[in-house]
Structure 1
Amino acid sequence: MGLDLPKGQITDRFREVRMFLSFIKTQESMDVPPVDSIEVKILRGLYYVQLYGALEQSLNDAAESFLQALSELKLCNNDFSLAILPTVMNSHFKSLSEVQGQKRWKKRVDFISAIANGDLSKIENTVFSPLFQSSEVEVISNVMSYIGINSDPLRESEDRFYVDEVVQKRHQVAHGRVSPVIVGSRGRSDDLEFRLEAVWRIVELVIEMLDEHFKSLSFLTQDAKRKLTDQ
């Protein structure tokens, strides 16, 4: 059982980032030592915005595809393992937090009943979009854990420091806290390329983790896994 992830779309998005980086390289000073123009520094600063956009949207695309695939299995809440229930039953958790007083107790009863009675799951495939609006590796790791994936490979990756740097610099530029000239003065195209490769490896790792998780059906109980594989 495979997972149809939008790998081609993600690859195309990063290809555009590489094209922008190639253009920046052509505009950089060849002098020794180099004396880059303000325009080039601005481009390098804005590059972090594009690179981060590719990261965030690719994570959203991959996560939404995974959750959509889960939804299409048309399983019941009690078919899922405990580790992924916070995600599968997100709408129920929201309902619990939105009511007060005696109504809250009824919502709690409804919540337990939705598990015990085998209600059909209603999975929201965009549930992680708000979290990915600041896609540090810690956030990405947390999201993986919310669907029952061991996120240690992400947390232990040497690339996490460069990815977090991209996130921070993007926020500085996009929110106007730091001028793109200043950000673009700290490093040249070789440094930008190094960070691009780090971001790409993290995205590839997430895709690999989601793909393997779906194939293994480890998000299901043993009974549900047997029923699904016997179909």
Structure 2
Amino acid sequence: MPYRSLTSDIGVRFSEANTLLNMIKANENSVIPPATEQIEHKILKGLFYISLYACIEYTFNQLTIQTLTLIKEKSVPYNHFDTKFLTIALSSNLQSVRDCNSKSFLEKASDMFYLTESTSVANFDETFINKYLQNVWGKSFNQLTKTFGISNFPITPREITIFNEIVDNRNIVGHGRDLAQTIGSSPKYTDLKSKYDTVFDTINRYISHYESYYTNKEYIKTSSRTSY
């Protein structure tokens, strides 16, 4: 199970968020009408969005690094990679073409396409995708699978909406656009627990989606897979 350690590390992050969620539940149960909810309780619920979002971003960052590290360890030559994986395999060349001046553009562009037929072992930076990962929205799941050349990840409109809400609220609190107590004034424990469960389930399915991709060697041309 090449992703077992990663799943365990991500589980630790979710465990921390779940501890916060249990505190929110205890706080809510301690309020006996007609008493009103204390400000500290609202602040904690606002900060919960930051904790839960941290689990999401950590998963995306580590999942990309782990997958690319495993693939790189296979020592696959450029000409064995499936065409859809070349976005990653040729990433440094793409950046070179992007940054070059007009005098060297044609040569660098030609070099890049010739490289797709090369028998040299591919060399790419396992962390380069993370430079482009910032806020992880609902749409980010299949933007990332497209970069890898992975089949679409099944995510529902409801799940997308929940991820977008978490990012929005995290940004509002984290960037100081509003008070944590304001964001935490509306949701109840059951609302936050539902969001937590949805995120946890979706993230675990997403990891399995990548594990299947790696195990089935979908990043390699069908005709070359038996060599690996």
Q: TM-score, normalised by structure 1?
A: 0.92
The 5-angstrom pairing of residues 73-222 of structure 1 reads 73-154=74-155, 156=156, 158-222=158-222
1:16 corresponds in structure 2 to 16
| 8 Å contact kept, 1:131–1:139 | no
Amino acid of the residue matched to residue 224 of structure 1? S
| 8 Å contact kept, 1:142–1:151 | no
Deviation at 1:131, TM superposition (A): 3.5
Amino acid of the residue matched to residue 126 of structure 2? N
Deviation at 1:112, TM superposition (A): 1.6
Alignment partners' CA distance in 2, 1:3 and 1:33: 53
Amino acid of the residue matched to residue 14 of structure 2? F
Deviation at 1:181, TM superposition (A): 1.1
Q: Deviations over 1:30-81 (max 9, x none)?
A: 3246621111111110110011001100121112111100000001111111
Q: Secondary structure of 1:214's match?
A: helix
- Root-mean-square deviation (CA, aligned residues, Å) is 1.6
Amino acid of the residue matched to residue 125 of structure 2? E
| 8 Å contact kept, 1:38–1:181 | yes
Alignment partners' CA distance in 2, 1:214 and 1:227: 15
Alignment partners' CA distance in 1, 2:34 and 2:111: 69
Identical-pair percentage: 22
Cα gap change, 1:78/1:180 in structure 2, threshold over 3 Å: closer, same or farther? Answer: same
Q: Secondary structure of 1:170's match?
A: helix
The aligned length equals 226
2:3 corresponds in structure 1 to 4
